[in-house]
Chain A
Amino acid sequence: MEVNQMQRSFLEYANVLFREGFLDGQFSQLQMLADESNPDFVVEVVSLFFEDSQKLLNDLTTTLDQQNVNFKKIDAHIHQLKGSSSSIGAQRVKNACIAFRNFCDQQNVEGLSFGSSITFAFLFQLEQQIVAAGGAIPILSEFS
């Protein structure tokens, strides 16, 4: 009972997320892939995305805190995050990644710190929106 209700309200709320620019057309693609045999597909992928993204951003932060920053590694992390956010249609997160990747080329550590904070904020924001819609995504742990 609860699952179907959650799915419904989540999917209805997704329209709000589209309008507000949190999500783009790729998210609709994912919605098309859920059916009676796999009703939880969207929730599963989105959960995976949040887990994966949090880990990536944490790794990125750790790398940034090093004495000698490994910019190649950071670029790889951002590339990964950009890719997965693009695959699920998390538009703001994706655009944030595209924007702050430039700081990597410039080897701008402050810019990268700032960029990753913003990206994390967008991520958190998206997750909050989904939880508000009853999407039952696990809460991201505190960003330290």
Chain B
Amino acid sequence: MGIDCSSEELHVLAVDDSLVDRKVIERLLKISCCKVTTVESGRRALQLLGLDGEKSSVEFDELNVNLIMTDYSMPEMTGYELLKKIKGSSKLCKIPVVVMSSEKVMSRIDRCMEEGAEEFLVKPLKLTDVERVIDFILRGGDKNEKKITTSRKRKTMMMHEDFDSSSSQSSSNWEQPYQKRPKIAQN
């Protein structure tokens, strides 16, 4: 592909209990010129980030990450719970967190966005999804810029010819550009 990765490299921590998904996201991120660390659980992620309460062994240096991408559905600690812990920590709350899920459940999306997630990506991930996120982070997470990248994404979506009859995964991530929604009354 011959991408020039010499410019600033983001360090991304990817959290997913699926081995296959970890492999895919690692590759997606590396192609997007990121340094990647993958872990299989929220607990492990918090350990590496130095937020696990038990300051037992200091066998590794705490990670310095620019972005955390986490799967939503994980055993023991969900991506949402991990998000809450990160956003609730004075040490880590500034790190942008992106949540990924194979299920596009609006209440789930709302909950994550309200808890401070930067984005909610619907799996399976495409290269354009990851590029868009990285692009956004590199621009310093300017919310105005988000509109531009989202419409670029729509153009790319139209180029892709994939279909899925299942309701839980639609071919496009969302029908219209996702913007931070006003607080909606939860049931």
A residues near B (Cβ < 8 Å) are 24-26, 29-30, 32-33, 35, 38, 41, 44-45, 48-49, 52, 76, 79-80, 82-84, 86-89, 95, 98
User: Using a Cβ–Cβ cut-off of 8 Å, how many residues does chain B contribute to the interface with A?
Assistant: 27
- Interchain CB contact under 8 A, B20 and A87: yes
B residues near A (Cβ < 8 Å) are 1, 17-21, 23-24, 27-28, 31, 73, 75, 102, 123-127, 160-164, 166, 168-169
In angstroms, Cα B21 to Cα A35, docked, is: 19
- Interchain CB contact under 8 A, A33 and B28: yes
Determine which residue in A24, A30, A86 has the highest number of CB atoms from chain B within 10 A of its CB, and name it: A86
- Interchain CB contact under 8 A, A48 and B27: no
Chain A residues with CB below 8 A from B17, complex form: 80
- Shortest Cβ distance from A14 into chain B, in angstroms? 15
In angstroms, Cα B123 to Cα A26, docked, is: 10
Which of A24, A87, A89, A98 is close to B18, meaning CB atoms less than 8 Å apart?
Answer: A87
In angstroms, Cα B127 to Cα A38, docked, is: 16
The verdict on A44 contacting B23 (CB below 8 Å), with A87-B18, A95-B166, A98-B168 known, is yes
- Interchain CB contact under 8 A, A25 and B162: yes
Chain B residues with CB below 8 A from A83, complex form: 18, 20-21, 102, 123
- Interchain CB contact under 8 A, A45 and B23: yes
- Interchain CB contact under 8 A, A29 and B19: no
